[in-house]
Amino acid sequence: MKILVTAKRVTDPDMKIKIKPDGSGIDLSSMSFKVNPFDEIAIEEALRIKEKKGGEVVVVGIGSEKAQIEIRYGLSMGADRGIHVSENGYMDSEVVARILKAIIEKEQPDLVILGKQAVDDDNNQVAQLLAEYLGWGQVCFASKIEINESKARVEREVDGGIEVLEMDLPGIISADLRLNEPRYPALPAIMKAKKKELQSFKPDELGVAVAPKVIIQKMSQPHLREGGRIVPDVPALIRVLKEEAKVI
């Protein structure tokens, strides 16, 4: 079984984000980066399926040359080879989905597992767009995956409990937080990953135009919350809520 997974390079979610003074984007000069945590969970699940069923795990990353660091991390976890699509410009979810579609058509995997969302932009769109473009079945927010021959049985958490879905393969699955606990690569695996195959493509080599449909015009910090105040009695509280806060 061939499984394709993603490894997006994202800003460390534990660091404080700063906006550039002109509002043109995020100041990345002092930021650290890591594999998107949900993609890391997707890679781990692909490796567990491979350990049970055999086959190959291919890690795909899209971005600047530095995105190869996160692909190599996936290889150090145990993936067999990597694919890097080199693009320095801004890409919205639609562009990413079309690039992944082109890679999937080249690789012909039996299963694609992605993180349910990236922790930098939190769009939660790529898996759904990709399934539509490919005409494949999809299950999002998986908390348990079982592969039986040519079908995937997937559990996911919903408000009322656990929903169980079955999907024919090939198909798309997006990984939720409780799917697994990713392994930590040992030093020998990290060293071995440096020698694993890593192909590189440009979007135009895949026949994909990278002009985004979603344009970010300006970014700004949210307004700081003002400190609270003490009012002497309930009538004064009602007056403040009505005349000043205008919430009643």
Question: What residue ranges do the domains of the chain occupy?
Answer: 2-221
pLDDT of residue 68: 97
Provide the whole-model pTM: 0.87
Going by pLDDT thresholds of 50, 70 and 90, the confidence category of residue 247 is: confident
Beta strands 111-115; 171-175: pairing state: parallel
CA distances from 5 to 104, 184, 205, 248 (A): 10, 17, 21, 50
157-209 confidence digits (pLDDT tens): 999 899 999 999 999 999 999 999 999 999 999 999 999 999 999 999 999 99
Q: Does 14 or 9 have the greater pLDDT score?
A: 9
The CATH fold of domain 2-221: Rossmann fold (3.40.50)
Q: Quick one: pLDDT at residue 222?
A: 84
User: pLDDT band for position 226 (50/70/90)?
Assistant: confident
pLDDT of res. 56: 98
